[in-house]
Amino acid sequence: MNKINNTWFLKDLPEKSQINFQDPSSPVMEQIIILHDYTMFILLAILIFILWILIKIIPATLYWQNINENTKLEILWTTLPAIILIIIAYPSLKLLYATDESIEPELTIKSIGNQWYWSYEYSDYEQKKIEFTSYMLPTEELKNGDNRLLEVDNRLIIPIHTNIRILITAADVLHSFTIPSLGIKADAIPGRLNQVNFLSTRPGVFYGQCSELCGTNHSFMPIVIETTNLKNYSYFIHTETN
């Protein structure tokens, strides 16, 4: 199983001292980042307001008698936090329902977590079922520009601007299928089937890792998804089915 060559790709990786999310590559991840920034703005505004009140109150020697047993003031500081929570909760619930929304998939892929590698299966094609395993590349096999502990021998290749459904399970213990740039995180549970739906908006190579402690080699089972245009994807499928 070969990687698709002769195409310019972006690689989304965490960087040193990075505190923000990785660049999004799906509409859901874009909304997650917007919600995060929106919530952080509100929290910072509340923090600055409380600090300002403390700075004013602590050194003050005068006592304002209308603060105690002030019904209007107590109603205000009870209802105001409730309103702020509603303002935060409404977009959060919208996004939660959006991430769980069931779409009509154009491509279904099966992903199985094993100790300690991933196996994938394309079963939508009548000519031949495509199955392969994806192991982490050892350090001695890395090439220039490869990422240690993140590169794999076989990438999961998918087309852009296509509704993708990934069915996720595990063969032995709990695993977790996670790709931050695509907003994907789903537990792989033996005997159960989880699914995630997503759509990639740009070509690139997106890295993830198992996010559930699954044994001694838990940190050595990376996930690599390569998104490409439909022409290159069709060539890949044609090559694998013939």
Residue 95: predicted pLDDT: 87
Residue 220: predicted pLDDT: 92
Domain shared by 90 and 130, yes or no:
no
The CATH number that applies at residue 128 is 2.60.40.420
Give the number of domains in the chain. 2
Distance CA 70, CA 118 (A): 62
Residue 112: predicted pLDDT: 95
Angstrom CA distances, 40 to 35, 36, 52, 199, stand at: 8, 6, 18, 26
Residue 79, CA atoms < 13 Å, CB-side half-sphere: 6
Domain shared by 74 and 119, yes or no:
no
Domain shared by 50 and 165, yes or no:
no
Which tokens in the block code for residue 204? Answer: 């690139």
pTM: 0.79
Tell me if 129 is assigned to some domain: yes
Tell me if 96 is assigned to some domain: yes
Residue position matching structure tokens 């909304």: 31
Domain shared by 132 and 171, yes or no:
yes
Domain shared by 146 and 92, yes or no:
no
Domain shared by 93 and 114, yes or no:
no
Residue 22: predicted pLDDT: 83
Domain shared by 123 and 88, yes or no:
no
Residue 100: predicted pLDDT: 76
Domain shared by 153 and 133, yes or no:
yes
Distance CA 133, CA 135 (A): 7
* 204-209 sheet: strands from edge to edge: 10-12, 204-209, 222-228, 156-159
Domain shared by 76 and 129, yes or no:
no
143 burial (CB, 10 Å; 0-12 / 13-18 / 19+) is: exposed
**Residue 51 domain boundaries:** 27-60+70-100
Report the amino acid identity of residue 241.
T
Domain shared by 182 and 227, yes or no:
yes
Residues in the chain with pLDDT < 50?
1-2, 5-8
